[in-house]
Amino acid sequence: MTDAVKTIKLDQFLKWMGAVSTGGEAKILIQYGEVAVNGEVETRRGRKLVDGDVVFTQGRSYQVEL
């Protein structure tokens, strides 16, 4: 039996970290290509993040720790 990998959606992560205050704000940032995950621009707000991923937006980077 294997452990399930913990994930969090990109838009939820941005809210959780305080990078944005609303889901709508996260959606706009992501759609306009203002968010990068592990150095690559990500335009899918439902992108699943795992431990160790690095999210960069608005001049700041955030390490995913679930």
1 confidence band (pLDDT: 50, 70, 90):
low
- Residue 14 CB coordination number (10 Å): 27
5 confidence band (pLDDT: 50, 70, 90):
confident
The total number of residues shown for the chain amounts to 66
Q: Report the pLDDT value the prediction gives residue 49, as an integer from 0 to 100.
A: 98
The full set of domains in the chain, from first to last, is 8-63 (3.10.290.10)
pLDDT in tens, 8-41: 999 999 999 999 999 999 999 999 999 999 999 9
Give the C-alpha separation, 54 to 22, whole Å: 20
2 confidence band (pLDDT: 50, 70, 90):
low
Q: How far apart are the first and last CA of the chain?
A: 21
